[in-house]
Amino acid sequence: RAKSSQRGEHIVFTRAMEIEMKERVRLVQGLRTAFNEDRLFLMYQPQVRIDGGQPVGVEALIRWRADDGRFVPPDRFIPLAEHSGLIVSIGSWVMRLACYEQVKIAAAGFTNMQVAVNVSLAQFRHPLFIEQVREALRDTGAEPGRVELEITESMAMEDADFVADKLNDLAQIGVKVAIDDFGTGFSSLSYLQRLRVDRLKIDRSFVQELCTNQRGRQVAEMVIQLGRKLGLAVIAEGVEEVDQANMLLELGCQEAQGYLYGRPMEPAALYAWLAERRNAT
């Protein structure tokens, strides 16, 4: 009967929700413990010039290996960190550590490389965010112009006046700003013109479709043209194949990040990777 099946569905639904809720609570507790016990760490993925492969930067990516040895992906735990408020302290720790890595990379002789740091919405909105950035720079001695903060396109579109203000503050500090996952939102030329940003990151989904369908290519082309019109640098993320790299070059995109060049690496592996590139040139 319709009635009982409706009830049945209702029960199944709430049980699934209950399981998911318990899992989330468990994850947040695990995350808090991991953070307090210093068991989160950062990996760094190279960013290169497509033509010649010269390293130009790295993106810091957070990692959490849970007690059972398995990695919990950041796409899973960052949203939980946001909702629980943990992101403010985790984000501040990420910023400081990434700034410190900029100092070390420069000390290793790669003085022109920058370090990119992902910033989440709750962190960006926090009243002490700008102060956090200043502090991280001051405490580590990082060069502001070699630190790039990545905000997503959806974050950039949240509240125009607020975002424009924050980006002006960041520009004053001297750090760079990139818009991550670009092409997934709907920001317009006129909107972007108001924002003090330095670079656009073409979202991986379009790079994946670059050589297989029209949409990927059209969006990539649009982002590259938008970048050119606004005088912004453009980088493609998630480049895995030579064909994609060639297509990007053809469309006028100079820089890329992706498995084709290097996976996210722990610092030791990163420095070995960098040393190889230095010896090659």
Distance CA 15, CA 110 (A): 53
118 interacts with Mg ion by CB under 5 A:
yes
Pairing mode, strands 199-202 and 71-72: unpaired
238 interacts with ligand C2E by CB under 6 A:
yes
Torsion-angle region of 276 (φ positive above 0: left; ψ -120 to 50: alpha; else: beta): alpha
Structural contact between residues 250 and 62, judged by C-beta atoms closer than 8 angstroms:
no
Distance CA 48, CA 114 (A): 11
| Per-position x/- string for 22-41, each x denoting binding to ligand C2E as judged by CB under 6 A, each - no binding | --------------------
Q: Interaction with ligand C2E in 171-200: which residues (CB under 6 A)?
A: 180-181
Stretch that binds Mg ion, among 8-16, 38-46, 104-112, 142-150 (CB under 5 A): 142-150
Stretch that binds Mg ion, among 41-49, 162-170, 176-184, 188-196 (CB under 5 A): 176-184
Q: Residue 81 is encoded by which pair of tokens? A: 């960190």
Map tokens 């639904």 to a residue.
13
Spatial neighbors of 243 by CB under 8 A, at least 6 apart, are: 210, 211
Q: Using alpha carbons, select from 164, 161, 140 the residue that is nearest to residue 151.
A: 164
What's the one-letter identity of residue 44?
Answer: Y
Select the binding partner of residue 153 from Mg ion, ligand C2E, none (C-beta < 5 to 8 A, by kind): none
71 interacts with ligand C2E by CB under 6 A:
no
Contacts with ligand C2E by CB under 6 A: the residue count is 25
Q: Which of 13, 14, 73, 212 binds ligand C2E (CB under 6 A)?
A: 73
Q: Which residues pair with 116 in a beta bridge?
A: 59, 148
Q: Which of 240, 249, 267, 277 binds ligand C2E (CB under 6 A)?
A: 240
Q: Residue 253 is encoded by which pair of tokens? A: 């995109």
Select the binding partner of residue 78 from Mg ion, ligand C2E, none (C-beta < 5 to 8 A, by kind): ligand C2E
237 interacts with ligand C2E by CB under 6 A:
yes
Work out how close the CB of 234 gets to ligand C2E at its nearest, in angstroms, rounded to a whole number.
15
255 interacts with Mg ion by CB under 5 A:
no
102 interacts with Mg ion by CB under 5 A:
no
259 interacts with ligand C2E by CB under 6 A:
yes
61 interacts with ligand C2E by CB under 6 A:
yes
CA torsion angle 121 123 128 134 (round to 10): -110
Distance CA 256, CA 254 (A): 7
Distance CA 169, CA 274 (A): 33
Q: Interaction with ligand C2E in 116-175: which residues (CB under 6 A)?
A: 118-120, 150
Residues making contact with Mg ion (CB under 5 A)? 118, 150, 180-181, 237
For ligand C2E, the binding residues (CB under 6 A) are: 45, 60-62, 73-75, 78, 91, 94, 118-120, 150, 180-181, 204, 237-240, 257-259, 264
